[in-house]
Amino acid sequence: MRLYLASTSPARRALLAQTGIEPVLVAPGVDEDAAVASVSAALGRDLTGPELVAMLAVEKAAAVADGRVAGSPVDGFVFGGDSAFEVDGVLYGKPHDPAVARDRWRQMLAAGGGTLWSGHCVVDRRRDVVSTDHGPGGAGRAGTVPPVRHVDASGGGPLGVAASLTHVAPGGSELVAAGDRVVAVDSAVLTFADDMSPEEIEAYVATGEPLEVAGAFTIDGRAAAYITRIDGAPSAVVGLSLPVLRSMLLRGFGVAWHDLWAL
């Protein structure tokens, strides 16, 4: 069974590969800044962490699910994901610039930590599945696993299905189903070392590692030594919560994790 990853992130691909899943990588081509700006303008306010990552995850998955890969229609599941780090009510995306990364590290250390929000969307594009009434993709096993809460995405306004995931508490998670997709938000609360020096910040930023990752750090690289505690799934901090993705496939579509293994 094929899994398309609507991302070219090496970290997300590596996460899946280490669990036995070899995804097909497809760049979604979504202008994230424009998408966020459009929805924020329609709402008349900034997006919350859960709203932002859920909305972008849906946008990315839909962009690949409704397109063609190597000239052929998608045949399998499409996963889209997004991440943002929140410190004292402020959402941090990718800093891009070393000066911005340095400033964010100072702010994060002053706060002591923050919450990593991880958005997930799985769209069912299997071409050989006969639809039933058991799940959004037609293959859920009713009565064998906890049910997924079904929502009407058309009632979510500019946010769509992401409007149903606005009340996830830091360290918690939630998933919902709408039509042919399951959408989820997972989160992890991180605590940083309280003795990190300005020299260590400078040395870390100089590596270039924090410039293109949400929150200006990774736990699967050099920053791991500066993070003292994670309350939540470590994989969510990398960019894809493996336990949540497993639940989405099982509870939403009746598909076991090992069904995606590349044997």
Q: Measuring CA to CA, which residue among 77, 175, 158, 180 is closest to residue 118?
A: 175
Q: What pLDDT does residue 239 have?
A: 87
Query: 260, exposed or middle or buried, with CB in 10 Å at 0-12, 13-18, 19+?
Result: buried
**Percent of residues, the chain, with pLDDT higher than 90:** 80
Instruction: Give pLDDT tens digits along the chain (263 positions).
Output: 899 999 988 889 999 999 999 999 999 999 999 999 999 999 999 999 999 999 999 999 999 998 899 899 999 999 999 999 999 999 988 899 999 999 999 999 999 999 999 999 999 999 886 544 444 444 444 445 667 889 988 888 999 999 999 889 999 999 999 999 999 999 999 999 999 999 999 999 999 999 998 889 999 899 999 999 999 999 999 989 999 999 999 999 999 999 999 75
Q: pLDDT per residue over 173-199, tens digit each?
A: 999 999 999 999 999 999 999 999 999
Structural domains of the chain sorted by starting position, each given as residue range(s) with its CATH number in brackets: 3-260 (3.90.950.10)
What whole-number distance in Å separates Cα of residue 164 and Cα of residue 174?
9
Q: What pLDDT does residue 139 have?
A: 44
In the residue annotation, 82 being an active-site residue is answered as yes
Q: What pLDDT does residue 227 have?
A: 96
Q: What pLDDT does residue 164 have?
A: 93
Q: What pLDDT does residue 57 have?
A: 97
Catalytic residue among 33, 82, 194, 220: 82
Q: What pLDDT does residue 156 have?
A: 84
Q: What pLDDT does residue 145 have?
A: 63
What whole-number distance in Å separates Cα of residue 141 and Cα of residue 139?
6
174-209 b/e with 16+ CB inside 10 Å = b?
Answer: bbbbbebbbbbbbbbbbebeeebeeeebeebbeeeb
Q: Retrieve residue 66's tokens.
A: 């409704």
Place of tokens 């006969």: 130
